[in-house]
Amino acid sequence: MKVDPKYSNPNKFWNRLGLTVVTAGVIAGSLSICYLVYRNNFVDQSGAKRVQVEQQNKTNPKVEQYLKYSECLSEGGTEEKCNPLLHK
């Protein structure tokens, strides 16, 4: 049985295997970089924006007054009773 000359040299086999492994590593690395960029730019931003809005609402006294006003109304209070909460 004759062996094809391109497979008879073990150095060529290891070089080819090494090149395949390096190529697979480069592709995997590129995909992971793309994923990290995607996660950083799109996924995490929505969470950061939500936290920013929550912090804004905590420091905004008008929002706090409106929340107290709407809570008063939802508990059955009348507008006359709840209106002073808006003007504190």
- pLDDT tens per residue across span 19-44: 999 999 999 999 999 888 887 777 65
pLDDT (tens digit per residue) in 64-78: 788 888 888 888 888
Length of the chain in residues, anyone? 88
* Torsion (CA) 14, 20, 21, 26 in degrees, nearest 10: 150
- What's the per-residue H, E or C state across 53-76? HHHHHHHCHHHHHHHHHHHHHHCC
Cβ atoms 79, 73 nearer than 8 A? yes
The helices-and-strands tally (H runs, E runs) of the chain is 5, 0
